[in-house]
Structure 1
Amino acid sequence: MNDNMTSISAKLVAFVVFPNLKLLDITGPMQVFADANQISPGQYDLKVVSANGGAIPSDAVLPVATDPISSLKGNQINTVIVAGGAGAPVAAEDDVFIEQIRDLAARTGRLGSVCTGAFILAKAGLLVGRSAVTHWDSCDRLKDAFADITVQKDAIYIKDGDIWTSAGVTAGIDMSLAMVAEDIGRKYALKLARSLVCYLVRPGGQSQFSGPLQQQIGDSTGKFGDLNIWISDNLTSDLSVETLAEQVRMSPRNFARRYKQHIGVSPAKAVEALRVDAACRLLEESELPLTVIANRCGFFDDERLRRALMRGRNVAPGVYRERFRTGPGVDGGAI
């Protein structure tokens, strides 16, 4: 630990809640900052506030004890994080609460939201001209309601200047880890992520869903579940429509039609998504050359790997590895 970290003034982080918030939207990010104080003592001073203070009901059994937002007057605020949840639409229509949010935003260096908390920031006019994200199930609604916001529906979180927005629930943990990395360094955020038994801080651009998860969601009947597992285990094989159809004992034409009907994408796109997902894991977790990764994942060519990753993740392999790698060699090795 860097000794000079204990001598700095604690950064005030204020978590804003409202009735019927989603409990994990606030407890997840709060745990990140609380545990950061265990790794680097004295970094953060945590406050939970609401419009009028008191016990605020959540969507779970536990209420949340809060101070009134007015209690922060006169304080220098480093970070404000607005929770999401089923109560967000009602909170967004509370003019007094929205004015309080505007006042907090004017007095903080960093403003964030979790899940549908983005609607509160949007209602306050704080996302005008910005890129933002919310829970995948609410992205279209955010886009339709606020045409002056660029909604990036696949992102885990987005940092646009001093405003951060994150996707649903656990994405708030990713966002908070990234904030901690910005404050005290990536090395300490890595250590913190390990202590929380979660993924390394992810700098935004990864999709809310992996290729396999997208297919599980699409294939609600489970009809092609075994086939998708077989594909994942045989990425270097011939995965043409004819080969896949033979695996499930269907004609190629009928298979292609039924697969797209159940999964939502063509067999070729599904195969590419699984290969991209595998390549991303190797880019994150290993130092293997791109040629080796391309071969192991069934691309067999660096350029084919690059094109597929650009289509699937909108980023080149080298840039993806630089942003997301978690294997040996990151920040001088394992912590």
Structure 2
Amino acid sequence: MDATGDVVFALSDGVLLLDVAGPVQVFDSAGGYRVRLASVDGRAVRTDVGVSLGVDLALSEVGGDVDTLVVPGYPRDEFAGVVPELVDGVRRLAAGARRVVSVCTGAFVLARAGLLDGRRATTHWQACAALAELYPGVRVEPDAIYVRDGPVVTSAGVTAGIDVALALVGEDRGEDRARAVAKYLVVFLQRPGGQSQFRARHAVSGPRSATLRRALDLVAADPSGDHRLATMAGALAVSERHLSRLFRRELAMTCGQFVERLRVEAAQTLLESGEEPVPAVARACGFGSAETMRRAFLRVLGVSPSAYRHRFRLADQRTAPWRPVS
């Protein structure tokens, strides 16, 4: 085994099961890695879904031969309250590791250990604001799937652990090996788009203004309708200037940007669940043409409608079992 073969996962109770299982599967499928799970006390850990994971050793028993240290994440209501012993163990092992990797909210462990000070980083899209607020020295990049800053690599939520593990395999074993593993796991080698494709539907919080709430209800009720600023202002019996000011003050966007976002979300639903051609979806959601919808998707989500449908619609896929050559 070469110097890049030793991978240690630092765990404690409550760890997200998929944050561990996804990257472990990638490294194991690639071959040539020694993967070890280490907990604070050397005992099995209980994951977020109640399944216990056996570990190989305690963090204190891990020697200085670690090449890659991986720190998985924890549920949303726990990511700010990480175990001090875990932080201490991660800090000690990181000092001798070639690279340190976090998956999802594992970035909070790295930040608590001081490993993200002055660095760029990302985490689960729901936790990016909290990471930036709790650790102002971290330059959070909320739309990235993963971010490398020197020897530290942070990744977005849950399945992004698979993305970052594939990237590391590509660095260590070559792109051909990483591509073979991605094919075996039936995942993208490098998925297009960023976290905004998952965050867009939750990005607008409830406005305080009753007038603006009525405006949003009008758009949500019929995304394909005439929602030009003048038309909406007339329907709400307010001036265009006042309505525009409400959108900017409370939603930090223009009326047109909000309408575009809602139309994109309506199109997402049709693309995910139906078989309507893209031009028909565009007309149904008020875009007028497929090209107009394509440009809107690229602005809002960073991917085209066709690419979005290919990735997210429900379809039965059957693949013959095989395993890449180690």
TM-score normalised per structure 1: 0.64
Amino acid at match of 1:269: Q
Q: Distance in 2 between matches of 1:35 and 1:157?
A: 21
Amino acid at match of 2:82: A
Quickly say closer, same or farther: Cα 1:216–1:124, change in 2 above 3 A.
closer
Question: What's the offset of the Cα at 1:272?
Answer: 5.7
Q: SS at the partner of 2:36?
A: strand
C-alpha distance after superposition, 1:188-239 (max 9, x if no partner) = 3223222212223248xx421328x6247759999867966x7xxxxxxxx9
Kept in 1: contact 2:219–2:227 (CA 8 A)? no
The equivalent position to 2:256 in structure 1, one of 236, 245, 268, is 268
The equivalent position to 1:35 in structure 2, one of 21, 26, 29, is 29
Q: Which residue is equivalent to 1:171?
A: 160
Q: SS at the partner of 1:54?
A: coil
Matched residue count: 266
Quickly say closer, same or farther: Cα 1:74–1:163, change in 2 above 3 A.
closer
Q: Which residue is equivalent to 1:126?
A: 115
Kept in 1: contact 2:227–2:259 (CA 8 A)? no
Q: SS at the partner of 1:169?
A: coil
Kept in 1: contact 2:4–2:172 (CA 8 A)? no
Determine whether 1:100 maps to 2:94.
no
Amino acid at match of 1:178: A
Q: SS at the partner of 1:298?
A: helix
Question: What's the offset of the Cα at 1:132?
Answer: 1.0
Q: Which residue is equivalent to 1:69?
A: 59
Q: Which residue is equivalent to 1:11?
A: 5
Q: Which residue is equivalent to 2:312?
A: none
Question: What's the offset of the Cα at 1:98?
Answer: 2.3
Q: Which residue is equivalent to 2:137?
A: 148
Q: SS at the partner of 1:168?
A: coil
Kept in 1: contact 2:41–2:59 (CA 8 A)? yes
The equivalent position to 2:100 in structure 1, one of 80, 104, 111, is 111
C-alpha distance after superposition, 1:3-56 (max 9, x if no partner) = xxxx7466111111111111111111111111212xxxxx21100001111111
Identity of aligned residues (%): 32
Quickly say closer, same or farther: Cα 1:23–1:298, change in 2 above 3 A.
same
Q: Which residue is equivalent to 1:208?
A: 195
Q: SS at the partner of 2:98?
A: strand
Q: Distance in 1 between matches of 2:184 and 2:222?
A: 36
Alignment of 1:238-249 (within 5 A): 241=227
Q: Which residue is equivalent to 2:82?
A: 91
Kept in 2: contact 1:22–1:60 (CA 8 A)? yes
The equivalent position to 1:25 in structure 2, one of 19, 22, 31, is 19
Q: Which residue is equivalent to 2:169?
A: 180
Unaligned runs of 5+ in 1: 1-6, 38-42, 231-238, 279-294, 318-334
Kept in 1: contact 2:3–2:67 (CA 8 A)? no
Q: Which residue is equivalent to 2:274?
A: none
Kept in 2: contact 1:115–1:169 (CA 8 A)? yes
TM-score normalised per structure 2: 0.65
RMSD of equivalent CA atoms: 4.4
Q: Which residue is equivalent to 2:320?
A: none
Quickly say closer, same or farther: Cα 1:227–1:29, change in 2 above 3 A.
farther
Q: Distance in 2 between matches of 1:252 and 1:13?
A: 62
Kept in 2: contact 1:189–1:201 (CA 8 A)? no
Q: Distance in 2 between matches of 1:215 and 1:226?
A: 15
Determine whether 1:297 maps to 2:284.
no
Question: What's the offset of the Cα at 1:117?
Answer: 1.1
C-alpha distance after superposition, 1:136-166 (max 9, x if no partner) = 2222221121111111122222111110111
Q: Distance in 1 between matches of 2:235 and 2:175?
A: 50
RCO higher in structure (CA 8 A, sep ≥6): 2
